[in-house]
Structure 1
């Protein structure tokens, strides 16, 4: 049986119902100004088109690895020199519509080295509440 190391990465995935249209919601997931309203302290788009996401006055650089406008976006995090990393942390936001329930869901996939699954769940639950407040959902 493998024992996880202190820096072992985990994949967190959760779906959150959001009472908003994809056209309204997607800019909050895919733009610097939208992300800075709910996701982190500040977000700046550098001239090289990389995102600088700031938490607690610390820079975290990311680039868009995949985007389907109005549907999904993946951010892959970079090192301090804005260079790619092996086994890099990433963050996916995917909007999914259920015809059965007539509801929109935001699926969050967070691949990172969080120490506690419970803390990660609490963090995302809190972030989703902030996002819902922003979009009026």
Structure 2
């Protein structure tokens, strides 16, 4: 069924600090290191560019060193859709995990998981976490 959505939650253990990770997921300069080719800010909107395409998101939730949610704007197909980054620190081991929550079309789920995996690999390299 076309257009059926599913929420996915992916967890990645990163060898970094919550503060350093939060900078990479919550700022234009941080996001441009791993998430998009170029990220600019237009008011409250982050303008994301990849190989000639452009999309816009607004940072709608921000909790310092904990989570960031971005809501897609100016795109009828994605209207009201969002994705979220959460930082979780294991109390026993001190491991820092990045949890990615995204809403995906069921028929595109595997492709999107693969895209997230590649993006997070880039993030890990940038953090020296591989």
Normalised by the length of structure 1, the TM-score is 0.85
Distance 1:50 1:85 in 2: 18
For the structure 1 residues 10 and 56, does the alpha-carbon distance in structure 2 shift closer, same or farther, using more than 3 Å as the test? farther
Which structure's residues are more often helix, by fraction? Answer: 2
Distance 1:15 1:128 in 2: 10
Normalised by the length of structure 2, the TM-score is 0.90
Q: CA deviation at 1:87?
A: 5.6
* Correspondence for 1:33 among 29, 32, 35: 29
- Is the Cα–Cα contact under 8 Å of residues 72 and 78 in structure 2 kept in the other structure? no
For the structure 1 residues 102 and 76, does the alpha-carbon distance in structure 2 shift closer, same or farther, using more than 3 Å as the test? same
The answer for the alignment partner of 1:42 in structure 2 is 38
* Mapping 1:34-113, distance limit 5 Å: 34-46=30-42, 48-80=43-75, 88-113=80-105
The runs of 5 or more residues in structure 2 that have no matched partner are none
For the structure 1 residues 113 and 88, does the alpha-carbon distance in structure 2 shift closer, same or farther, using more than 3 Å as the test? farther
For the structure 1 residues 86 and 136, does the alpha-carbon distance in structure 2 shift closer, same or farther, using more than 3 Å as the test? closer
Q: CA deviation at 1:85?
A: 8.2
Paired residues in the alignment total: 129
- Is the Cα–Cα contact under 8 Å of residues 73 and 79 in structure 2 kept in the other structure? no
The answer for the alignment partner of 2:111 in structure 1 is 119
In the alignment, structure 1 residue 13 sits paired with structure 2 residue 9: yes
Which structure's residues are more often strand, by fraction? Answer: 2
The runs of 5 or more residues in structure 1 that have no matched partner are none
Over aligned residues, Cα RMSD in angstroms? 1.9
Q: Which has the larger radius of gyration?
A: 1
